[in-house]
Amino acid sequence: MSLRRLSGAGIGTATVVIIALMMIEGEESPAIEDRLRSIIIQALWTAMMAWMIIAGSMLGLLGRGRAPWLQIGGLLFLSLSTLGILAIIGEIPTEDVLGGLTIRWAGLATGAFFAIGYTLSTLTVSMDEEIDPLLLLGREQ
């Protein structure tokens, strides 16, 4: 499957999901500016944490020359810059906000995990039994 088809499928699916869930929200759907602002802020929080986790995961490479130092420094710089941007726009996450965000991330991950697990299990159910060609040869003789 080509990357082009995959990205097309991704964008199409995302559109359908957003429309379906916005229909569920109904009149309580927030204004588009509010939603965009909220999405951007959450994207910045996510990116900040992802950079910190990547930088932490590279600590084991510190003894391997100058490049890992630069990469860890660069990632921490990106993370702290994001924190700076959030401070400028007055959106530094408080304990309550981080708490709510953690719960929602856990929820999203659980839902996605269930769907992936279910897909894998149904795929293995529909797999045909593999017959060893050597055993088949023995039977024919």
Partner 1 sequence: MLLFVGLPSTLTLWTHRSESIQRRAFIPLSILVLIGLGLTSTSSTGGQVGGIAEIGLYVVGIVGILCIGIYLMVFGGVTPVGPVPRGWRTTGGLLMISAVAFGGILTIEPEWSPLVTPDGWNSYAASSIVGLITTSLFGAVIVWLYGDQRWMTLIGLILTTSLGLIGALLLIESSILTKADISEGLTTAIGSIFGLLIAAVLAIGLMVQIESKAVVPRTSPPLSKEEIKRMEQLIQANVRSEQE
Chain residues 3-42 in contact with partner 1, contact rule CB under 8 A:
5-6, 9-10, 12-14, 16-18, 20-22, 24-26, 28-30, 35, 38-42
Chain residues 113-132 in contact with partner 1, contact rule CB under 8 A:
113-130
Write out the two tokens for 15: 């559109």
Nearest Cα to 71, choosing from 81, 82, 59?
59
Q: How far apart are CA 101 and CA 35, in angstroms?
A: 16
> How far lies 23's CA from each of 19, 28, 32, 65, 129, in Å?
6, 10, 14, 54, 44
Question: CB of 135: closest distance to partner 1 in angstroms?
Answer: 16
Binding to partner 1 by residue 84, rule CB under 8 A?
no
Question: CB of 137: closest distance to partner 1 in angstroms?
Answer: 20
Q: Which is nearer to partner 1, 59 or 137 (CB)?
A: 59
Q: How far apart are CA 77 and CA 69, in angstroms?
A: 12
Tell me how many residues contact partner 1 (CB under 8 A): 84
> How far lies 123's CA from each of 28, 95, 109, in Å?
39, 42, 21
Question: CB of 88: closest distance to partner 1 in angstroms?
Answer: 18
What mask, x for binding partner 1 by CB under 8 A, covers residues 37 to 66? -xxxxxxxxxx-xxxxxx-xx-xx----xx
Single-letter amino acid code for the residue at 102: T
Binding to partner 1 by residue 1, rule CB under 8 A?
yes
